[in-house]
Amino acid sequence: MNHADLLALAFFGVVTTAYTLVTDHSKLRARSISAAIDRQRENWMQEARRREFRMLDSNILGVLVSGVSIFASTNIFVIGGLIAGLTYNEELSAAFSSVPFADPITPGRWSIKLTLLLAIFVYAFFKFAWAIRLANYCAITVGAMCDPADSGSDVAAARAKTASRLAALCGHHFNRGLRANFFGLAVLGWFFSPWIFMAGTLFVVLILLRREFFSGALAALKDTP
């Protein structure tokens, strides 16, 4: 790779790492939409322990699992396509070099760029798969909740707390998978130019920051008692 490619790759690594540290491991996370949704998950489970029939909660969990499953299945197809692209790197790199506005690309550089994309989407698949398992664990803990007559007991409160924590973990890993998919789209710009790659990375980060800290959805959640 040339110096521009190395600069773009380093920029991508620094920006994505910084974004993850800010949104997941800093004090600013308390102001994010993820934290606001975690509070609503806890409210949900505290209400669920008082319900006599919990079919509503089971239906919600089923919707969550099906949504995550769609992304996991889609990533499998993407991974298969990327592996095929690595198999025919010489033919595809030669064909892509003729695309307007795209820098000429050697088979070696084509393989490196596809390998980065493959690593990102494999990572996303594992996150989605783990989110599905966590949703199943959450469903089991909802099924293990105490009888509504005992909803005021410490055991009932502890089980509801466990269910909300599992739901929050499910959402966290699902968000990580979605985030990886967004950054995978930014990597596509690298096939055209390292400068487009850097611009795409910055654009994706700005979009994610806006949705995490300045979105209308977050404002609506803040107004919820």
Cα 194 to Cα 105, 145, 206, 207, distances in angstroms: 12, 53, 19, 20
- The vertex-16 CA angle with 205 and 63, nearest 5°, equals 70
- Range of weakest confidence among 1-5, 164-168, 177-181, 204-208: 1-5
State the pTM of this model.
0.92
Q: What is the pLDDT of residue 101?
A: 73
Q: Once rounded to an integer, what is the mean pLDDT over residues 188-194?
A: 90
User: What secondary structure letter does DSSP report for 103?
Assistant: P
Question: On the CB side of 153, how many CA atoms lie within 13 Å of its CA?
Answer: 10
State the chain's mean pLDDT as an integer: 92
Cβ density class 76-100: b for 16+ within 10 Å, e for less = eebbeebeebeeebeebbeebeeee
**What does the pLDDT look like over 63-105, one tens digit per residue?**
999 999 999 999 999 999 999 988 888 888 888 777 777 778 8
Q: Once rounded to an integer, what is the mean pLDDT over residues 32-50?
A: 94
User: CA-CA distance, 103 to 194, in Å (whole number)?
Assistant: 9
pLDDT interval class at 182 (50, 70, 90): very high
Q: Concatenated DSSP letters for 107-134?
A: HHHHHHHHHHHHHHHHHHHHHHHHHHHH
Give 151 or 208, the one with higher predicted confidence: 208
User: CA-CA distance, 6 to 42, in Å (whole number)?
Assistant: 44
Q: What is the pLDDT of residue 177?
A: 97
Structure tokens at 90: 């010489």
pLDDT interval class at 214 (50, 70, 90): very high
pLDDT interval class at 8 (50, 70, 90): very high
Structure tokens at 85: 């692209």
Task: For residue 126, give the 3-state DSSP assignment.
Answer: helix
